[in-house]
């Protein structure tokens, strides 16, 4: 009986981790898209004279 409980808990932990990692991929992709949009908008709004100077 104890073996079944331990196995059940392990299955729940593995399922929870898999679900969490799956959600984290979506969060990472959404943040990457927002970062790229912000990077492009900052470059367009600031103009060439007020942007950072690159050597």
pLDDT tens for each residue of 2-23: 888 999 998 888 888 888 888 8
Helix (H) or strand (E) segment spanning residue 25? helix 2-50
What pLDDT is recorded for position 49? 55
Q: What distance in Å separates the CA atoms of residue 22 and residue 46, rounded to the nearest whole number?
A: 36
Q: Are 13 and 5 in contact (CB under 8 A)?
A: no
Q: Which of 20, 2, 23, 24 is nearest to 12 (CA)?
A: 20
pLDDT number for residue 47: 59
Q: How far apart are CA 21 and CA 14, in angstroms?
A: 11
Please give the helix or strand (H or E) that residue 50 lies within, else none. helix 2-50
């Amino acid at each position: 009986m104890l073996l079944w409980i331990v196995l059940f808990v392990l299955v729940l932990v593995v399922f929870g981790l898999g679900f969490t990692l799956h959600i984290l991929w979506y969060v990472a992709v959404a943040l990457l898209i927002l970062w790229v949009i912000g990077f492009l908008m900052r470059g367009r709004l600031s103009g060439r004279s007020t942007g950072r100077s690159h050597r």
